[in-house]
Chains A and B, each alone.
Chain A
Amino acid sequence: MTEEQPILVMKGITKVFPGVKALSGVDFRLFKGEVHAIMGQNGAGKSTLVKVLTGVHRQESGEVRLEGRPIHPDSPLAAQKLGISSVYQEINLCPNLSVAENIFAGRQPIRGGIIDWNRMARRSEELLKRLNVSIDVTRELSSYSIAIQQLVAIARVLDISSRILILDEPTSSLDDAEVDQLFKVMRSLRDEGLAILFITHFLDQTYRIADRITVLKNGELVGEFRTEALPKIDLIARMLGKELSEFSRKRAGTQAARDEKSVLSVKSLGLRGSIAPFDLALNEGEVLGLAGLLGSGRTEMARLIFGIDGATQGEIRIRDRKVAIRSPQNAMMAGMGFCSEDRKNEGVFAELSVRENIILALQAKKGVLKNISPRRQLEIAEELIKSLAIVTPTANNKAGQLSGGNQQKMMLARWLATQPAILILDEPTRGIDVGAKLEIMELILSLSRRGMGIVFISSDFEEVVRCSGRIAVLRDKVKVAELNGDDVNETAIMRTIAGGN
């Protein structure tokens, strides 16, 4: 199954972008006839490493050797010519073209000067049969499920060249049966000698299919392991950079829910294709942490509660009254607030002033006609700027000029202005400096002391433990457990995610 010499060796790869070192001296090797998974959290450098391999980026230092010879692909097409094929999560095919045409786009068989459709169809059928797929190749691609579309994409790239196949998050949109099908195909390809690079954040799947795992963290290589030699909990620990022995104790004297007054109660809320139905309860003055790895479904949970995605089942109760939350407006009127993890695309209005950014939600709550006078706007904005220590020359400066941390505080200010009973924060400490991180966590605690119910999502388990009274743990789009009291510590979280085995 594995040969002595790896087919691909990457040594000492360093890649620098303005302001951030994406990869530092990373080594990686790939053997023929194996499935090799790359794992790591946000900012680990997985996609950068792949982009260096496929020629999207040029590394600053380090070399890449394919079958012993150094290569320098300068574009994905060049990489493909060398034998490095990749299939991405977005399946870069044309949904309107037929399956056969997608496989042969740009290289259609020609006979007598015109496209030979029959030969194209027959060849496509052969290629797909090799992947255990028998479908009508003349129907358009979009009429098939994502799983089939993925196999079509794989068929295309393998027909063009087949030394190395890179699969980037291929299972995010597949259900269990489809994942089985894909894995069967991957195994048979592997047995034929193909080298497969598999990028995923699904733990269980890694353990099912990968022969070897390479772990990255913050742009550095943590290590390369044979799957059977690496217990799940070790993998998690390495991805997070923690040693098992050092776990931080739950903060002494954390708030217990004061008078158990329920402010938010969610039962069996779910959306087909998004996240499995879940229950959630939040009391006044409580901080509920949502912990899980990347892609575990935390943001999906928040979006369902806040009405961004419409739930197909379940109910939401605010202070024990059933409410219909069909839009963010509903949620806001019901007393909720939500800070998205994607500040840039879902939160900040860069060209509006800080003042306008802050009072926007409050104004939306009051309605179009009950205008907040410019003077009052300034008052409110300046008060929040002061209390949150937002650094900006004036309240009228454009929001786009603020640093990441201050933009995050501005988002908080926006929702605080509406005086919500429930505040959902998705990764509020991501991408900001340490000082600002601490400020925000302090803020969360002080808000909860004043009676606000807070749902706190963070990839940093230490943070979650520090701020939360209770923690809901998610894994692979399912809420698996809730941790209480003494169980509120990092080890417990990691154990829960790893599962009993």
Chain B
Amino acid sequence: MKRMAGFRNLPMFVTLGLFIVMFGTGSIAFPGFFSVQNFLNLFIDNSFLLILAVGMTFVIISGGIDLSVGSVLALSGMVTAKLLEQVHMSPLLVIPIVLAMGTALGLFMGYLIQTFELPPFIVTLAGLYLARGLCYIVNLFTIAVTNPYFVAAAHAQVFIIGTSFLSPGAIVAIVVVLVGFFVSRYTKFGRTVFAIGGSEQSAILMGLPVARTKIAIYGLSGFCAALAGLVFTLYTLSGYGLNGSGMELDTIATVVIGGTLLTGGVGNIFGTVLGVFVYGTIQTLIVFQGTLNSWWTRIAIGFLVFVFCLLQRLFESRKARAAVRGPLTQPAGAGASQG
């Protein structure tokens, strides 16, 4: 596709290469690594992360950030468990309620950010605190989910190829990815997100519905967080306040590794999927290795984030230097950060 093979998408191909190299190394080093099921497990074990990452991709492309997603995931799981187990509501009611709750919180934060020009970082960080706290107010300890529909869904196996299967959660994740891709590419909303990330001022001057879109983006992220929470509840069959701790960072990390620029305007849903693959493969490699501390995942991800951010920064500064021929009212390379 001519559109894909651009210099801008170079980071995504780096990620693809990274993933292939990692998966390949694992396949060579560990017997049993190279299997269809092992690949499909990437979807199963990281289904919630995929869903979070799709929402986060939109937010980051627009130039913002959402630090609350991990906590909203936990809150959604908590509320789901409570409503199912202690209030005895039917899943048909619980699911829409939880999704609405996540979306509402997201829309509220988006409203604060857009209307009063508050920094997304602080607003969503407070959202993280709010959701976490609400979790504990709902219930201090774990609630096990025993609702028959959820249990059935948790153990269900959808066979894809031969004996290799996907979980319902993974299927939901894949659907979210496909919908996300479609929205980002073929709808005006999606394209407005890119425009805002590229230059919000220009987008406003071009007459795009910037305010509405920005608020909606955070609502979308909240929706994804709630949905991810539901899927996570399927995965663990419980609601627990400490769930998803730090998951917002993993999400941001996978989005960045997938080639989306933290400064906004550039991003790709499939790149994000690759980022999640890389993340999942690192974890699988560590599990297969057996002796390595699982915290190496954190370090490896942190390192990859650093490398990708560094590359992005160098890429930006090279472009800035090339554009010295630009408007002469700006000093070249201004700003405290460059001294």
A, B: real partners: yes
Chain A residues with a Cβ under 8 A of chain B: 76-77, 80, 89-90, 92-98, 101, 105-106, 108, 114-115, 117, 138-140, 142-143, 146, 172-173, 175, 271-274, 295, 300, 303, 308-310, 327
Kindly identify which residue among A92, A106, A139, A309 contacts B199, using a CB–CB cutoff of 8 Å: A92
- Stretch from B65-73, B161-169, B325-333 at the A interface: B325-333
Contact between chains at B188 and A115 (CB < 8 Å): yes
Interface residues in chain B, defined as those with a beta carbon under 8 Å from any beta carbon in chain A: 2-3, 6-8, 182, 185-188, 191-192, 194-195, 197-199, 201-203, 205-208, 265-266, 319, 323-328, 331-332, 339
Cα of A290 to Cα of B6 in the assembled complex, Å = 47
CB within 8 Å for A173 and B207 given contacts A95-B199, A95-B265, A106-B188: no
Knowing A106-B208, A172-B328, A173-B328, say if A93 contacts B188 (CB, 8 Å). no
Q: Say yes or no: A95 contacts B198, CB within 8 Å.
A: yes
A231 CB to nearest chain B CB (Å): 28
Given contacts A106-B208, A142-B319, A146-B326, 20 further A-B contacts (CB under 8 A): A92-B199, A93-B199, A93-B206, A94-B194, A94-B199, A94-B203, A96-B8, A96-B199, A96-B265, A105-B203, A106-B188, A114-B186, A115-B186, A138-B2, A139-B6, A140-B6, A146-B323, A175-B325, A303-B331, A308-B331
* A143 to B322 alpha-carbon distance, docked (Å): 11
Of chain A, the residue at the smallest CB distance from B265 is A96
Smallest beta-carbon distance A142→chain B, Å: 7
What A residues does B185 contact at CB under 8 A?
Answer: 115
Chain A residue with the shortest CB-CB distance to B1:
A138
CB distance from B99 to the nearest CB of A (A): 24
Contacts of B323 in A (CB 8 A): 146
Tell me the bound Cα distance from A93 to B192 in angstroms: 12
The 3 lowest CB-CB distance pairs between A and B, nearest first, are: A94-B198, A96-B265, A96-B198
Q: How far is the CA of A97 from the CA of B203 in the complex (A)?
A: 11
* Chain A min CB distance to B336 (Å): 13
Residues of B within 8 A of A295 (CB): 328
Q: Are A273 and B195 in contact (CB under 8 A)?
A: no
Partner of A77, one of B197, B198, B207, B328: B207
Q: With the chains together, A77 CA to B208 CA distance in Å?
A: 10
Contact A309 B206, CB 8 Å, known A146-B326, A173-B326: no
Q: How far is the CA of A45 from the CA of B182 in the complex (A)?
A: 48
A97, B202: Cα distance in complex, Å: 12
* B202 to chain A: closest residue by CB: A92
Residues of A within 8 A of B266 (CB): 96
Cross-chain contact of A173 among B198, B208, B327 (Cβ < 8 A): B327
**Chain B residues, Cβ within 8 Å of A105:** 191, 195, 203, 206, 208
> A96, B197: Cβ atoms under 8 Å?
yes
Secondary structure dominating the interface of B: helix
**Complex contacts, B207 vs chain A, CB 8 Å:** 77, 80, 106
On whether the beta carbons of A114 and B202 are closer than 8 Å, the reply is no
- Known A105-B195, A115-B186; judge A92-B327 contact (CB<8 A): no
The CA of A188 and the CA of B326, in the complex, are separated in Å by 26
* Inter-chain contacts of B197 with A (CB < 8 A): 96
Question: Could you write out 30 A-B pairs with CB less than 8 Å apart?
Answer: A76-B205, A77-B207, A80-B207, A92-B202, A92-B205, A93-B202, A95-B199, A95-B265, A96-B265, A97-B195, A105-B191, A105-B208, A106-B206, A108-B188, A115-B187, A115-B191, A117-B3, A139-B6, A140-B8, A143-B7, A146-B325, A172-B327, A173-B325, A173-B326, A273-B325, A273-B326, A274-B324, A295-B328, A303-B331, A310-B332
List B contacts of A89 (CB < 8 A).
327
For B203, list chain A residues within 8 Å (CB). Answer: 94, 105
Chain B residues within 8 Å of A95, by CB: 198-199, 265
- Chain B nearest Cβ from A246, distance in angstroms: 33
Within the complex, what minimum Cβ distance (angstroms) separates B12 from chain A?
14
CB distance from A274 to the nearest CB of B (A): 6
**CA–CA, A140 to B328, complex, Å?**
23
**Which residues of A lie under 8 Å from residue B325 when comparing CB positions?**
146, 173, 175, 272-273
- Complex Cα gap A117–B198 (Å): 19
The answer to whether B198 and A90 touch across the interface, beta carbons within 8 angstroms, is: no
**Residues of chain A with a CB closer than 8 A to B8's CB:** 96, 140
- Name the CB-closest residue of B to A86: B205
C-alpha gap A97/B6 in the complex (Å) = 12
Query: A295: shortest Cβ distance to chain B, in Å?
Result: 8
